[in-house]
Amino acid sequence: MTKFVRFSLDKSTPPTAADRHSGVRYGVLDGETISEVPSLFEFDRGTTHGLTSVRLLPPVSPSKIVCVGRNYADHAKELGNAVPTEPLIFLKPPSSLIAHGDKIIYPPQSTLVSYEAELGVIIGRRARNVRKQDWADYVWGYTCVNDVTARDLQKKDGQWTRGKGFDTFCPVGQWAVPANEVSLNSLRVQAFLDGEKKQDGPVTDMIFDLGDILAYVSHFMTLEPGDLIATGTPPGVGAMEPGSSVRIVIDGVGALENPITSEA
């Protein structure tokens, strides 16, 4: 499995939205060594770094994060919602992105923050008016996503921007894996809260597959290389509290783990 990472040599603080592109590098992780590559889409290896000497960042820096709601029938039912008849699309802001190991901040505005394990799809080329059968031509690869949600605010507001959009509410990583190395139909999406398995569902249970999603989204929104699509979560979502840790696992893609802390 080829593990593409995005990293910074400055381990002190994560890049802000204003400077996230300065000093940021791409690489291929092999064991404890990272070999630099020019970009996510170029594979010529160069200077090497020890994994412990760098700060891992989210493996992509998308212009937008497109999310699919209620894309597993049992998840829709567990929240008392109808199963959608077409993809239910919402956005997360890029400012919500954090990397593997970074802290999820529990906001004081909420009393019910949930984990949602999801398969992340990375766009590899500009996509507009994609035909369903051509979806694979536009996918670069896959990663793990946690669609963190302030469930009480989502319900209160009647729309999802605030409940889904807090800073730190989109952990992604640790790495990205090229699509041609992944057997998509064999993937299972799992979430573990403090080591206890809470979610476990096959990607094949998605109501709308990747062809449906790319065709639907690209007919009203141009997708750019590096954009991220979170494809929905299987049943088993639940609350998490400060002091806990949530781990997302997709065998064949990777694992993503983040601690939860209060804003204070």
- The full set of domains in the chain, from first to last, is 1-55 (2.30.30), 58-262 (3.90.850.10)
Per-residue pLDDT, 175? 98
Residue 18 has pLDDT above 50, yes or no: no
Residue tagged 């990272």 (tokens): 34
Mean pLDDT (whole number) for 218-223: 98
Per-residue pLDDT, 117? 98
Both structure tokens of 212: 């449906």
Per-residue pLDDT, 138? 98
Grouping H, G, I as helix, E, B as strand and the rest as coil, residue 165 is helix
Q: What is the mean pLDDT of the chain?
A: 94
Both structure tokens of 72: 């597993």
Q: Which residues contact 89 (CB under 8 A, 6 or more apart)?
A: 66, 67, 68, 69, 216, 217
Q: Alpha helices, DSSP H only, in 20-117?
A: 73-78
CA–CA gap between residue 76 and residue 263 (Å, rounded): 30
pLDDT, one tens digit per residue, over 197-214 is 999 999 999 999 999 999
CA–CA gap between residue 62 and residue 198 (Å, rounded): 28
Residue 19 has pLDDT above 50, yes or no: no
Per-residue pLDDT, 206? 97
Mean pLDDT (whole number) for 105-133: 98
Per-residue pLDDT, 10? 82
Per-residue pLDDT, 261? 98
DSSP class of residue 46 equals -
CA–CA gap between residue 10 and residue 13 (Å, rounded): 7
pLDDT, one tens digit per residue, over 43-88 is 888 999 999 999 999 999 999 999 999 999 989 888 888 889 999 9
Provide the pLDDT confidence category of residue 15 given band limits of 50, 70 and 90.
Answer: low
Residue tagged 């994560």 (tokens): 14
Per-residue pLDDT, 13? 61
Residue 20 has pLDDT above 70, yes or no: no
